[in-house]
Amino acid sequence: MLDDALHALQSVFGFDTFRTGQDDIIRAVLAGDDVLAVMPTGSGKSLCYQLPAVVRSGLTVVVSPLIALMRDQVAQLQANGINAGSLNSSNEADETSRVFEGIRNGALRLLYVAPERLARGELVELLRQCQVKVLAIDEAHCVSQWGHDFRPEYLALGEMRQALGNVQTIAFTATADQATRSDIAARLFPSPPKIFIGGFDRPNLRLAMSPKKGGTKQILDFVAGRKGQNGIIYCSSRAGTESLAEALNQHGHKGLAYHAGLDGRVREANQDRFQREDGLVMAATIAFGMGIDKPDVRFVCHADMPKNIESYYQEIGRAGRDGLAADTLTLYGLGDVRLRRMQIEDNAASDAQKRVEHQRLNALLSLCEAPTCRRQTLLAYFGETSPPCGNCDLCQSNLGAYDGTIDAQKVMSAILRTGQKFGTEHLINILLGVDNEAVLRWGHNALPTFGVGKDRKRDQWRSIVRQLYAAGLIHMDIGEHGTWSLTEPGSHVLRGKQTVRLRPDTLGADKKDRSAQESKPAHNPQDEPLLAALKKLRLSLAQAQGVPAYVIFPDRTLIELAANRPRSLDEMSHIHGIGQAKLDRFGEMFLGVINCCPT
């Protein structure tokens, strides 16, 4: 049956080969095995249940968390000539009738439903009678209390599996550590499934992080080098999304805001615009993203530090899903760390869950303050090793690391001599020899450490404090004042029993902020006139059909068309992403544009 799958891969989906890991998973699905697959965003998870549904009989029910995600995936499948549908509150009555008829007569291959809808007894009974072949669960980390986006409505899916007759179940997620994987397996499967863990590396994503030193200006500088590209900027507050969207528009970008406090109609309209338009930047809270299947997002930026390392990985993964180059930038500061710590402590979760969340946040902070290749640090968290990537800000800046033991001892001496009762700025004032009112009031101008740090700038000392925190050498009281104390490993450094290596702050080592450098185009500039004409045709077709532009063809397909300039339908059939249905439907129109555009 794998031969049939390979044929359908090209003829239906327009792909010549499987991506790494897809063939093993699809082989297991076709063999009838239960499967839990952890695959990075953009690695082609959806194909692992869509392709088997095409090549064998029976209905595959796909549990998906958001209506927008269902709607767009169904549109893509239908554009490829696959009979698919969804049941959700946005359906027109005739669409719902068509879907139910397709279920009853066996014509429907894939049915997308939300977990709440699947829990309705009448739908489960109908699906059971129609002998559902597979239950596919997308975003499976939502079922686990250890997952970074736990959703209570997912808890009933194990019961739904049983109600459907213990149907073959396959579950997919982009991020799940060992605790989360074990919890998913226990909740969804009666016996251990086959587990596939794909590589977590996304080599097409450029990773960059920078301390906050201007907030909105840093974001605007970053976006300025990517004007006209699709992007997402994550903010920690609703007000932040709105002010940033306004600033984007004032600087000539198409910016929109998205957060849970917006009127539902406005929120949905903004999401639809992002899905359907090119060159739009969404300033959003984390309420935006899980339902986004847009392959040509060229950058993801965090205006504030993410919740934890899993959230960071999931959110940056929304860039470059088409495999083309994409950029990421994360801004962070100690204020972000305090906020995240307080959010964890104020949560009603168990002490065990809080410990896990603190560990995940610590891992993210270590990534922010990594002294060498960021990709190595990120992949190490997921249990993988790699050589220096050459595609992150640290690899490209060549800042290197230095023996920071003496600098660390200066900071920790200031902490200890002030009774471990003061915050960052007061300690830095002592190191810099600033005799302000607070320093004088406490008599800290008489300390031996007063003025010993005049050889460095304030921003450099802030970076050193962050790095010592990331290394676990000092501890922050997450209460109101954010005071510092020494940890046991930190005391070893202070007494000279252990050394520490630190990364030079970019402000002191390199005046150019490399995190905001312009991105390189994913195509040859000589192809730009033809590419623009192809995008114009794509947009008109998408608007006429009421679907996102990438449902017609993704950017990667248009870039290959512009580069290769096929002169016949046969030549066009070898372009990535053009299966037979799309070739029959759109081929002549796009050939017409290619033939009319001068070489």
Concatenated DSSP letters of 515-559: GGPPPPPSS-GGGHHHHHHHHHHHHHHHHHHTS-HHHH--HHHHH
Q: What is the pLDDT of residue 340?
A: 87
> Strands of 84-87's sheet, edge to edge?
84-87, 110-113, 60-63, 134-137, 168-173, 35-38, 194-197
The DSSP code sequence of 361-396 is HHHHHHHHT-SS-HHHHHHHHTT------S-BHHHH
Q: What is the pLDDT of residue 60?
A: 96
Instruction: Say if residues 422 and 439 touch (Cβ distance below 8 Å).
Output: no
Q: What is the pLDDT of residue 23?
A: 93
Structure tokens at 593: 């544009």
Q: What is the pLDDT of residue 148?
A: 58
- Fold (topology level) of 402-502: Arc Repressor Mutant, subunit A (1.10.10)
Q: What is the pLDDT of residue 116?
A: 86
Write out the residue limits of the CATH 1.10.150.80 domain(s) in the chain: 525-596
- Across the strands, what pairs with 113? 63, 87
Residue 193 is given by DSSP the state: P
Q: What is the pLDDT of residue 341?
A: 86
Using a cut of 0.75, tell me whether the model's pTM lies above it. yes
Pairing status of strand 168-173 against strand 254-258: unpaired
Q: What is the pLDDT of residue 512?
A: 47
Q: How many whole angstroms separate alpha carbon 196 and alpha carbon 22?
A: 10
Please determine, looking at this structure, whether the domain spanning 525-596 carries the CATH number 1.10.150.80: yes
For residue 118, give every residue at least 6 positions away whose Cβ sits within 8 Å of its Cβ, in sequence order, or none: 61, 63, 124, 156, 157, 160
Q: How many whole angstroms separate alpha carbon 585 and alpha carbon 563?
A: 22
Q: What is the pLDDT of residue 481?
A: 66
Low-confidence ranges of the chain (pLDDT < 50): 506-512
Write out the residue limits of the CATH 1.10.10.10 domain(s) in the chain: 402-502
**Domain 205-397's class?**
alpha beta
Instruction: Say if residues 529 and 597 touch (Cβ distance below 8 Å).
Output: yes
For residue 500, give every residue at least 6 positions away whose Cβ sits within 8 Å of its Cβ, in sequence order, or none: 403, 404, 405, 408, 468, 471, 473, 493
Please determine, looking at this structure, whether the domain spanning 2-197 carries the CATH number 3.40.50.620: no
Q: What is the pLDDT of residue 131?
A: 81
Write out the residue limits of the CATH 3.40.50.300 domain(s) in the chain: 2-197, 205-397
